[in-house]
Amino acid sequence: MEIRIGLANTPRELNFESALSTQAVTELAEKALASAVSFVTLADVKGNTYIVPTAAITFIEVGTEESRRVGFVA
């Protein structure tokens, strides 16, 4: 699923594909933002790790788990 994170004082968002479920990402984000944790760590499907400061997060958009179709639809 696609994850998009908005960061304060940054004109672009952080976009990546994750293998985590929607519920897992939501729970991880809620726990990190509700507690005194300084950073939240997420990984993409390619194995890259993103460490994001929780104080800079303005929004987190979690896409659907539905896979995209490839090709033409008649």
Concatenate the DSSP letters of all residues of 29-63 into one string.
HHHHHHSS-SEEEEE-TTS-EEEEEGGGEEEEEE-
β-pair partners for 59: 6
β-pair partners for 43: 49
Q: In 3-state terms, what secondary structure has residue 27? A: helix
pLDDT at residue 65, as a whole number: 66
**pLDDT band, residue 59 (cuts 50/70/90):** very high
Contacts of 55 (CB under 8 A, 6+ apart): 8, 38
**pLDDT band, residue 64 (cuts 50/70/90):** confident
pLDDT tens-digit map of 17-57? 999 888 999 999 899 889 988 999 999 999 999 999 999 99
What pTM value is reported for the model? 0.80
pLDDT at residue 1, as a whole number: 86
